[in-house]
Amino acid sequence: MRISVDRSRSTISPSVGGGVRVVADFGMGAFSEESGRKQTTTPGRDRSDALAGSDRPASSKGTSVLDGVGADDGTMATMTTHSGRSSATGPASHEASQEAFADLVQQVELAGYYPELVLDTLRLATGEEEILSGMVQSETTFAEAVHRHLTVLALTPSRLIIVHVDDTPRDDGSPGALATSEAVPLSRIRSMALTRGVADPARGGGTLTEMTIAVSWGSVRRIDMEPATCGDPDCQADHGMTGVSVPDDVVIRVAAGVEGAAALARAETFAGRLSQMAARAAAL
């Protein structure tokens, strides 16, 4: 897979919560043309063969590598994972890890938002760790122009990987995107809040219709400000401002009516796995 990437504006900055944040501003000339092409794999090999990485032997120690495999004409292919290590944080097998990664790649491809850029950014952030679980959320907003945003959450044996990709036109007006990745050690996660919306709660606990996942590790906080008031409804005095500071590191909302039931099920599975592994890391 040949991709021309302008890394002249890349920066690396530390995260307050102990992770590492990598921000890369990419020129999209190489991506905008390819994003509409059909996704392919190496001729003669299906997705499972590509993910198995049979064309590249694993080392004796075992590594996990996200790598592009495909034709040389710029078309995107699936990415391979090689690992000989067992996870110290759970019983997940190598085959289960490959299946989880293949599902994450499929989610990124189905989102259709610069998949090559998203997967390349994920590869940089993941390093040599295997991906145990993941989820993707895309969002489109309308202000002065259409603005797209994609968030990818990936769980490795030791870290939570967050990838954000946003539309960012370049100075000359050509299409561009800003890709940000953050790697947070599971031991640094301070809190995880899950909000579950259900229909017909009286029937066996109800049917899940939406879920909001909020994860905090102390990197970002949001302050909601409003004018302070007193108990006198006729008081005209200026009482200053009051506000509430809340953690705002990453918040993901998935609804069955918007993203679909399958996406909601993946979000619930991911949330359960993250909660389990974060609890284990905190106990060490």
Whose tokens are 């895309």? That residue is 138
Report pLDDT digits (tens) over 102-125.
999 999 999 999 999 999 999 999
Structural domain spans, the chain = 11-187
Question: In angstroms, rounded to a whole number, what is the distance separating the alpha carbons of residues 269 and 263?
Answer: 10
Tell me what pLDDT residue 246 has: 67
Percent of the chain past pLDDT 90, that is, above it, reads: 44
Q: What is the mean pLDDT of residues 186-194?
A: 93
Do you know the residue count of the chain? 284
Q: What is the mean pLDDT of residues 184-195?
A: 94
* Helix (H) / strand (E) containing 167: strand 159-167
Q: In the 8-state DSSP scheme, what is residue 130?
A: P
Q: What is the mean pLDDT of residues 150-176?
A: 93
Report pLDDT digits (tens) over 14-71.
444 444 444 444 444 443 344 444 444 333 434 334 333 434 344 334 434 444 433 3
Quick check: 247 and 218 in contact, CB under 8 A? yes
Q: Are strands 133-142 and 79-80 parallel, antiparallel or unpaired?
A: unpaired
DSSP H helical ranges for the chain: 29-32, 47-52, 94-111, 115-126, 261-283
pLDDT of 97 above 80:
yes
Tell me what pLDDT residue 73 has: 38
Is the dihedral angle over the CA atoms 175, 127, 79, 186 positive or is it negative? negative
Smallest Cα–Cα separation from 254: which of 264, 262, 246? 264
